Amino acid sequence: MIFVVILIFVGPKRLPQIAKSFGKALREFVRAREEVRRTIEKELRIDEGNRSYLEIEGEKGDGRSQNL
C-alpha cells in the first residue's frame, strides 16, 4: 500500500534514487544509534568501576579507624 502511494507521488524513474537515499539514511541512523549505545555502556562501566573503587577505599578507611 505504501509502495503504491510512493510510486504515484515519486514516479517510477525516481523511485530507485529515493530508495537508495532512504537506505543510506537508515544505515546512518542505525550507526548513530549503535554509537550512542556503546557510549552509554562505556560510561556505565566506568561509573561501576568508580563505585567499586570508592567502596574498596571506604572499606580501607573503615579498617584504619578501627585500629586507632
When mean pLDDT is compared across 8-12, 18-22, 23-27, 49-53, the lowest value belongs to 49-53
| Confidence (pTM) | 0.59
Q: Which long-range contacts (CB under 8 A, 24 or more apart) does 6-15 make?
A: none
* Length of the chain counted residue by residue: 68
> Does the pLDDT of residue 66 top 90, yes or no?
no
pLDDT of residue 68: 46
pLDDT tens per residue, range 19-48: 899 999 999 999 999 999 999 999 888 877
* Cα–Cα separations (whole angstroms), residue 35 to 21, 26, 27, 28: 21, 14, 12, 11
pLDDT of residue 48: 78
* Cα–Cα separations (whole angstroms), residue 29 to 6, 15, 18, 25, 64: 21, 21, 16, 6, 53
